[in-house]
Chain A
Amino acid sequence: MDLLTQPVSVSHYMVVGAMLFVCGVICMATKRNALGVLMGIELVLNGANLNFVAFGSRILRNDSLGMDGQLMALFVIVLAAAEAAVALAIALNFYNNHASIDVDQADDLKG
């Protein structure tokens, strides 16, 4: 509970990031809708972004601009976008084959 009384530091950012991550993971794990899963992925990635930002900020190192984290987050956002495009293509193809985007119906790889 020290975190609630101390000034805002990296740990606070990390907690928020972790909360976003966990929500994203829960969303990925529990959603039946494929688009929901994709949303979860976005959440996970954004949680990781927050972590990057936190670690690259001036809070930890004073002699830098504090922009390294932001830059990494930018990369990740671009990658997330690309990956979302690909994932949506997969989902579209899946819909064309199965007439549904229920991930529970995607058990063709069952051993």
Chain B
Amino acid sequence: MEIFTPIYSYLPYLYGAAVLLPLASFFTILIAAAKLRKAAAAVATFAIGSACALSFVALLAWLSVHYTPGHDSSPGHDSSPEHGNAHASTGDEHPHTDRPEVREQGDSPTAEVASSSDGRRADPQHTTETHAPHAAAAPAALSGTAWVLGRFGQREVTISYYIDALTVVMFCMVTLIATCIHCYAMGYMHDELHPITDHEVTLSDGRHLTRPGRFPRFFQYLSLFCFSMLGLVLAGNIAMVFVFWELVGACSYFLIGFYVERKSASNAANKAFIVNRVGDFGMIIGLMALWTSLGTFSFGDIDADGDGRKEPGIFSQVRSEANHFALATPDGMVRLGAQQQLATVAREHYTQPNMLQIMETQFPSQIGSLRESGAGYWLLVVAGIGIFCGCVGKSAQFPLHVWLPDAMEGPTPVSALVHSATMVAAGVYLVGRFFPVFAPEVLLVIAVTGCITLFLAATIAITANDIKRVLAYSTVSQLGYMMLALGVGGWLAGMMHLITHAFFKSLLFMCSGSVIHAVHTNDMRKMGGLLKKMPVTAITMLIGCLAIAGVGVPFLIGFSGYYSKDMILEQAYSLSLTNPGNALASLFFVMALGGASITAFYMFRMWFMTFVGEPRDAHAYDHAHESPPIMYLPLVLLAVLAIAVAWEPVMIGYAVIPAGILIWQSSKRGWFAAIRSPNGGHASHDDHAGSHGGATHQAGGGHHAADDQHGHGSIPSRVEHHDHGHAAHPGEGPLPWTLRGVVGMIVIAVVGGTLIAAILPRDLLSGLALKNLLEQARPAGTAADAVGKWVQWTWPNEHTAHEEANHARIVVPVTLFATGTWVLGIGLATAMYGRRYLNAEDVRRQFSPIYRLLINKWWFDELYDWLFVRPTHVVARVAAGVDRSWIDGLLHAIAAAAKSVSVFWDKLADRTIVDGAANLTAHWTHSVGLALRQVQTGKLRQYVMFIVVGALALFILISFFWNSTLAR
């Protein structure tokens, strides 16, 4: 591990390269799209794959320096590891011999002397530490400036970075998912290599639009998006975050409107961008509040005015080390808020010439009392709410949630990458990053918003019939969950859920894309019974649904969603216990439970409707087939991560053993032959994916001829007529495992996994767990309880719920409740859609008013249409009318006046004067010439006479006028 230590000092460069590689790919594809064609995908995938490799190298480098091993505790219990981790992290913060501009924050007074990385491991005496030192800990972070854009006196705007454990984890997650999506998109967007007939666009003469394919452009936009997202994660100041925020929004606009000729798609793109802008309006207000009061945008401490000293950044100003990292209104805000008091002081001293100096000396003595009286606190709240407004827009929280379901108009890889795992997570990431700056009142607002969102979206998802809409509303609901988690004080819970959600949600979207690719429809009412036809997709989607429902064996083991959801519920419960009798605080917990239950219900409704039961549309069913390996291999990888990303490393046995058994069994039944003959065997599928949507099939013609011949027989005959002339596809067809085999595999996995977990050193490896990795980035001061100033609530710190003392009080009931939610949800879904004991139609009729409310999405779109869109149209029409009649009229009048002036002037000056003068001159010349012409008679004798007469005249003249004195 130590070999990675020298790389640590180059971490900023590593991340800078990871951010810029996709940008380079963007420009490459932009310039050379016509030449690259299919290779554009390879360029983009190579770029993001390299960024992924760099991110993991950076992770190893980070771990080599900041490893925080845990302590002995049973699985599912997370009490002591946090003690040890948090305390060990205080030992991390003595400065390393890095390059001068890199600095880590927070030298805690309780820092250990040991400076080598070995000395930090496994300190047994920390098991009995109290929480007091934890409160005085700032996360280890590298912050520095890459480029100064402008200096304004004491302040500057820079391109800077801020790298802590959260950045490291986010980079790994984003790049890994992006790489999987790039591979997946290579198969999914295969149609775009040929001209496409778009059956959703009808031209004016009734035909469907035929357009050339846009394959390279898709990867160009994906690369730009990856660059923007990674830049956002790396950003070290909030202004840079804002720039990348907008860039991510622009990329989302491009990608949603990829099928730009479709009115629905271009409307959806507009809607997404405009709704995001509404949120960004609030964000700018927050930015303004921060800039004017704090004088800096930077998160960490950087040297702003070039004097060699580091000025405190936003985090240090709001939670200063001297104050034990407790939240306090920073000096700048107190100053701004206390204008009245300052004005009084100024008035007392205004006659004196050094009034400003007097005020400056008086102010620091008064600042404490001013802060106590609450001066400037409102600015802190405004800044927090402003920044949160941006997150409301970006993460589709209520009331700006309306854009995300419509954003499903984009191709499915876009939905998987942008609108489930990364861009919408950017809002949650920013709340997590900016967490130390949020006042408790702001946290309350966040929690309320999250709570409303999660419930609202979950209810709408129950009735949605489009498979992608279900997932979109699910995303909105889960984002609400994350906001709720952050709002109730659960920083680690929210971030954990962000990471686990990214994996299983992108998995779910990609599976849905695989289904859509196969049956060419989004409507779940036309699906059914696809389990046998698309087993890989079905199983991975099942894994995703289990993960999102938080399924697990209580207190033992579970899918990734189980851990993160449990943490959220524990923190919500802890909040309600800490504020007893407060209805709103209890409401958060109840809503979270309700939301979890509804989530489980609608996810399994979706799964059952798609994969189980009788096929509802024979045509769609017949054409269904498993996706090519380039599409289903990322699914498998993400499924593995959806199961195991939140596990402790010692539980690796539980994943490796079943994976090994599955691979062995599958290859024994010939499942991997399909991989050895990659896209060649599947080209026909892509071809008739392109020409589908109606009647004619071209390249896959043989397939459908066979279809007609065989008819709809039993499963074996369907398997047969997939062999259309080329290699057989053993990957399509019945599952390669039997039920007995699967049960046996589970038993072996449990036994073997437990053995391995007992053998491996739990303490040593626990630092690799996601939870402990994120714990390193816990914002300063959040390990202590928070108390609101205006709202008399107490936010318990996250460690409270996991203390030994509270185990029976908090963890046990919450875990049981959580288990109850998924049992209830999945049970109801099975009853209604799996086994069909209850009829969904009857339920719908019974609750028809509620059903109408939900199917119309609570009428939000109509509400916004009437409130905002129609008035805007009216105003626009009025403005257009004014433009046409008055402004255009004015312009026409000016033009006519100029024209008449010019006509008049032309007549007067040009024609009369100038032309007249010229003509007159010519006329005179002519007449003189005519006159002189008379002289030239051509008669010789006359000329002689002229000579004679002339000479005579000359003689006479000279004789008269010649001065006789000169002649002498």
Among B935, B938, B944, B945, contact of A107 (Cβ-Cβ < 8 Å): B938
Measured in the bound complex, the distance between the Cα atoms of B940 and A30 in whole Å is 10
Contact A103 to B941, CB < 8 A, known contacts A109-B936, A110-B936: yes
B938 touches A29 (CB 8 A): no
Question: Is B845 close to A, CB under 8 A?
Answer: no
In the complex formed, the residue of A with least CB distance to B951 is: A25
A29 touches B941 (CB 8 A): yes
Measured in the bound complex, the distance between the Cα atoms of B932 and A103 in whole Å is 22
In the complex formed, the residue of A with least CB distance to B929 is: A111
In the assembled complex, how far is the CB of residue B914 from the closest CB belonging to chain A, in whole angstroms?
Answer: 31
| Contact residues in B for A109 (Cβ distance below 8 Å) | 936, 938
B941 touches A30 (CB 8 A): yes
| Contact residues in B for A103 (Cβ distance below 8 Å) | 939-941
A29 touches B944 (CB 8 A): yes
| Contact residues in A for B933 (Cβ distance below 8 Å) | 111
Question: Is A73 close to B, CB under 8 A?
Answer: no
Measured in the bound complex, the distance between the Cα atoms of B935 and A8 in whole Å is 44
Among B934, B935, B944, contact of A28 (Cβ-Cβ < 8 Å): B944
Measured in the bound complex, the distance between the Cα atoms of B420 and A12 in whole Å is 136
| Contact residues in A for B944 (Cβ distance below 8 Å) | 25, 28-29, 37
Question: Is B74 close to A, CB under 8 A?
Answer: no
A106 touches B940 (CB 8 A): yes
Question: Is B948 close to A, CB under 8 A?
Answer: yes
In the assembled complex, how far is the CB of residue B585 from the closest CB belonging to chain A, in whole angstroms?
Answer: 121
Question: Is A2 close to B, CB under 8 A?
Answer: no
Question: Is B352 close to A, CB under 8 A?
Answer: no
Contacting residues of chain A (66-111) with chain B, CB-CB under 8 angstroms: 103-104, 106-111
B941 touches A107 (CB 8 A): no
Among A25, A31, A107, contact of B937 (Cβ-Cβ < 8 Å): A107
B945 touches A104 (CB 8 A): no
Measured in the bound complex, the distance between the Cα atoms of B940 and A108 in whole Å is 11
Measured in the bound complex, the distance between the Cα atoms of B945 and A110 in whole Å is 16
In the assembled complex, how far is the CB of residue B951 from the closest CB belonging to chain A, in whole angstroms?
Answer: 9
Measured in the bound complex, the distance between the Cα atoms of B439 and A6 in whole Å is 146
B936 touches A104 (CB 8 A): no
Q: Mark B514-548, 1 if CB is under 8 A from A, else 0.
A: 00000000000000000000000000000000000
Q: Mark B919-943, 1 if CB is under 8 A from A, else 0.
A: 0000000000000111111111100
A106 touches B938 (CB 8 A): yes
In the assembled complex, how far is the CB of residue A11 from the closest CB belonging to chain B, in whole angstroms?
Answer: 16
Among A25, A32, A110, contact of B938 (Cβ-Cβ < 8 Å): A110
A107 touches B939 (CB 8 A): yes
B940 touches A37 (CB 8 A): yes
Measured in the bound complex, the distance between the Cα atoms of B943 and A103 in whole Å is 11
Measured in the bound complex, the distance between the Cα atoms of B937 and A30 in whole Å is 16
In the complex formed, the residue of A with least CB distance to B939 is: A107
In the complex formed, the residue of A with least CB distance to B952 is: A25
Measured in the bound complex, the distance between the Cα atoms of B140 and A47 in whole Å is 131
Contact A29 to B936, CB < 8 A, known contacts A103-B941, A104-B941: no
In the complex formed, the residue of B with least CB distance to A41 is: B944
In the assembled complex, how far is the CB of residue B710 from the closest CB belonging to chain A, in whole angstroms?
Answer: 112
Among B932, B937, B948, contact of A110 (Cβ-Cβ < 8 Å): B937
Contacting residues of chain B (930-968) with chain A, CB-CB under 8 angstroms: 932-941, 944-945, 948
Measured in the bound complex, the distance between the Cα atoms of B942 and A32 in whole Å is 11
Measured in the bound complex, the distance between the Cα atoms of B937 and A103 in whole Å is 12
In the complex formed, the residue of B with least CB distance to A26 is: B948
Among A29, A106, A108, contact of B945 (Cβ-Cβ < 8 Å): A29
Q: Mark A41-71, 1 if CB is under 8 A from B, else 0.
A: 0000000000000000000000000000000
Measured in the bound complex, the distance between the Cα atoms of B938 and A103 in whole Å is 10
What are the 9 tightest A-B residue pairs by CB atom distance, in nearest-first order?
A107-B938, A110-B938, A111-B936, A111-B933, A103-B940, A29-B944, A109-B938, A28-B944, A25-B948
B948 touches A104 (CB 8 A): no
In the assembled complex, how far is the CB of residue B845 from the closest CB belonging to chain A, in whole angstroms?
Answer: 118
Measured in the bound complex, the distance between the Cα atoms of B936 and A109 in whole Å is 8
| Contact residues in B for A31 (Cβ distance below 8 Å) | 941
| Contact residues in A for B936 (Cβ distance below 8 Å) | 109-111
Measured in the bound complex, the distance between the Cα atoms of B933 and A106 in whole Å is 17
Among A29, A108, A111, contact of B948 (Cβ-Cβ < 8 Å): A29
- Cβ contacts A to B, 18 pairs, < 8 Å: A25-B948, A28-B944, A29-B944, A31-B941, A37-B940, A37-B941, A37-B944, A103-B939, A104-B939, A104-B941, A107-B937, A107-B938, A107-B939, A110-B937, A110-B938, A111-B935, A111-B936, A111-B937
| Residue from B939, B944, B948 whose CB has the most chain A CB atoms within 10 Å | B944
Q: Mark A10-49, 1 if CB is under 8 A from B, else 0.
A: 0000000000000001001111100001000000000000
| Contact residues in B for A106 (Cβ distance below 8 Å) | 938-940
In the assembled complex, how far is the CB of residue B763 from the closest CB belonging to chain A, in whole angstroms?
Answer: 127
Contact A108 to B938, CB < 8 A, known contacts A25-B948, A29-B948: yes
Q: Mark B443-459, 1 if CB is under 8 A from A, else 0.
A: 00000000000000000
In the assembled complex, how far is the CB of residue A61 from the closest CB belonging to chain B, in whole angstroms?
Answer: 17
| Contact residues in B for A110 (Cβ distance below 8 Å) | 936-938
Measured in the bound complex, the distance between the Cα atoms of B942 and A28 in whole Å is 10
Measured in the bound complex, the distance between the Cα atoms of B940 and A107 in whole Å is 8
| Contact residues in B for A30 (Cβ distance below 8 Å) | 941
Measured in the bound complex, the distance between the Cα atoms of B940 and A104 in whole Å is 7
In the assembled complex, how far is the CB of residue A99 from the closest CB belonging to chain B, in whole angstroms?
Answer: 17
Measured in the bound complex, the distance between the Cα atoms of B940 and A106 in whole Å is 7
In the assembled complex, how far is the CB of residue A27 from the closest CB belonging to chain B, in whole angstroms?
Answer: 10
Contacting residues of chain B (338-385) with chain A, CB-CB under 8 angstroms: none
Measured in the bound complex, the distance between the Cα atoms of B941 and A20 in whole Å is 19
| Contact residues in B for A107 (Cβ distance below 8 Å) | 937-939
Measured in the bound complex, the distance between the Cα atoms of B934 and A70 in whole Å is 43
| Contact residues in A for B945 (Cβ distance below 8 Å) | 29
Contacting residues of chain B (806-841) with chain A, CB-CB under 8 angstroms: none
In the assembled complex, how far is the CB of residue A9 from the closest CB belonging to chain B, in whole angstroms?
Answer: 18
| Contact residues in A for B937 (Cβ distance below 8 Å) | 107, 110-111
Please name 19 further chain A to chain B contacts, defined as beta carbons within 8 Å, in addition to the given A30-B941, A37-B944, sorted by A numbering. A25-B948, A29-B941, A29-B944, A29-B945, A29-B948, A31-B941, A37-B941, A103-B940, A104-B939, A104-B940, A104-B941, A107-B937, A107-B938, A107-B939, A109-B936, A111-B932, A111-B933, A111-B936, A111-B937
| Contact residues in B for A32 (Cβ distance below 8 Å) | 941
| Contact residues in B for A29 (Cβ distance below 8 Å) | 941, 944-945, 948
In the assembled complex, how far is the CB of residue B931 from the closest CB belonging to chain A, in whole angstroms?
Answer: 11
In the assembled complex, how far is the CB of residue A69 from the closest CB belonging to chain B, in whole angstroms?
Answer: 21
In the assembled complex, how far is the CB of residue A102 from the closest CB belonging to chain B, in whole angstroms?
Answer: 10
In the assembled complex, how far is the CB of residue A19 from the closest CB belonging to chain B, in whole angstroms?
Answer: 15
Measured in the bound complex, the distance between the Cα atoms of B932 and A29 in whole Å is 22
| Contact residues in A for B939 (Cβ distance below 8 Å) | 103-104, 106-107
Measured in the bound complex, the distance between the Cα atoms of B944 and A37 in whole Å is 10
In the complex formed, the residue of A with least CB distance to B930 is: A111
| Contact residues in A for B940 (Cβ distance below 8 Å) | 37, 103-104, 106
Measured in the bound complex, the distance between the Cα atoms of B946 and A25 in whole Å is 11
Measured in the bound complex, the distance between the Cα atoms of B937 and A109 in whole Å is 7
In the assembled complex, how far is the CB of residue B317 from the closest CB belonging to chain A, in whole angstroms?
Answer: 104
Q: Mark B382-398, 1 if CB is under 8 A from A, else 0.
A: 00000000000000000
Measured in the bound complex, the distance between the Cα atoms of B929 and A111 in whole Å is 10
In the assembled complex, how far is the CB of residue A31 from the closest CB belonging to chain B, in whole angstroms?
Answer: 8
In the complex formed, the residue of B with least CB distance to A109 is: B938
Contacting residues of chain B (883-937) with chain A, CB-CB under 8 angstroms: 932-937
Measured in the bound complex, the distance between the Cα atoms of B933 and A28 in whole Å is 23
In the complex formed, the residue of B with least CB distance to A30 is: B941
| Contact residues in B for A104 (Cβ distance below 8 Å) | 939-941
In the assembled complex, how far is the CB of residue A21 from the closest CB belonging to chain B, in whole angstroms?
Answer: 10
In the assembled complex, how far is the CB of residue A40 from the closest CB belonging to chain B, in whole angstroms?
Answer: 8
Measured in the bound complex, the distance between the Cα atoms of B934 and A110 in whole Å is 9
Measured in the bound complex, the distance between the Cα atoms of B933 and A31 in whole Å is 24
Measured in the bound complex, the distance between the Cα atoms of B938 and A111 in whole Å is 7
Measured in the bound complex, the distance between the Cα atoms of B946 and A29 in whole Å is 9
In the complex formed, the residue of A with least CB distance to B934 is: A111
Measured in the bound complex, the distance between the Cα atoms of B936 and A111 in whole Å is 5
Measured in the bound complex, the distance between the Cα atoms of B82 and A76 in whole Å is 139
In the assembled complex, how far is the CB of residue B928 from the closest CB belonging to chain A, in whole angstroms?
Answer: 13
